[in-house]
Structure 1
Amino acid sequence: MVTDVSASSSFEFATATRVLFGPGRLAEAPEAIRGLGGSRVLLVTGANPTRARPLQDALERLGLGVTVFSVDGEPTVERAREGTARVAEAGCDVVVALGGGSALDAGKAIAALAANGGDPLDYLEVIGRGQP
């Protein structure tokens, strides 16, 4: 399948996670995040966490605590472990990722580990234990 994702494209993709994409969608994010019912957010960003500052500020204005966790480059098993530890340390009950593929991949891994426990190697196929 080939899809033209131009600057004017906008979409929402909902599976086990929810992805908002497109011009103006950032303005919708704070209320959508508050709607999840948590009180402390782990905000996973790309290499430049200052790009997420507007979302962080908006979440804090809504009374949510925010802990920022940046990922520079493709997330590693170790970074997933570190992010999961940060969730526990900060008492986060929501994981939000803002940025490109690396931030989104890290956010999904951290959220899955925070909710299910264990180590990333428990769930990886081929090099891990391949648990569901």
Structure 2
Amino acid sequence: MTATDDGLAAEYAAIYAYGAATVHLDGDPRWVAESLEAEHRSRRDALLDYYDANGLDAPPALAGYDFEPLTDAEGAQQLLLEVEANVTTVWRAGLGSEPEVRELCLDMYIDAAVALARWRIAIGSAAADPWPGRPE
């Protein structure tokens, strides 16, 4: 798999998770979750355009994604925090790609890092992370 394949897979998973989690949220977290889901859809669409423009076959989304059943806002918030951290990590890993893909990965990484910070703020966590997406 390429860095763009991994990134597209992460965006697909994020869209799926937001669809399942947002119904458990209200207030500011719900508004931010709806906004972030739209951003993931926009990134997915930009990636699909990238594949088309380069004559590549985009990998399809999975039929479903495995995560614990959600029953409350706390679980939904935690899932979306994990999803945003994963998306950021995947795009950060793509920065080591070949030069023609690196700029795309950098743009996606920046967007993902901002989304992660926005989500952290929405759920009352510290937004600061000097190296978002960096493996611990």
Q: What is the TM-score when the length of structure 1 is the normalising length?
A: 0.31
Q: What is the TM-score when the length of structure 2 is the normalising length?
A: 0.31
Name the structure with the higher helix share.
Answer: 2
